Amino acid sequence: MDEYLAELIGIIIGDGNLSNTQNHYRIGFVGDPKKDKEYFEHIQLLIRKVWNK
């Protein structure tokens, strides 16, 4: 496990949620879109680093 995946898992556990509806999986994150804009941009970067390998 690399540092990006470890951080992303921590974020999902702390501020996220996982759901499965009709064979579609979804990861969501809780926060204020205006106040937490930089945080959400950081999460997007982590997701790209983890899944675009």
What span, in angstroms and rounded, lies between the C-alpha atoms of 35 and 27? 20
Q: What is the pLDDT, as a whole number, of residue 50?
A: 95
What span, in angstroms and rounded, lies between the C-alpha atoms of 30 and 50? 20
**CB burial string 12-41: b at 16+ within 10 A, e below:** eeeebeeeeeeeeeeeeeeeeeeeeeeeee
Mean pLDDT confidence for 1-6: 94
Q: What is the pLDDT, as a whole number, of residue 53?
A: 64
pLDDT for 40-50, tens place per residue?
999 999 999 99
Q: Are 52 and 4 in contact (CB under 8 A)?
A: no
pLDDT band of 1, cuts 50, 70, 90:
confident
- Domain chopping of the chain, boundaries: 3-51
Residue 14 pLDDT greater than 70, yes or no? yes
Q: Are 4 and 46 in contact (CB under 8 A)?
A: yes
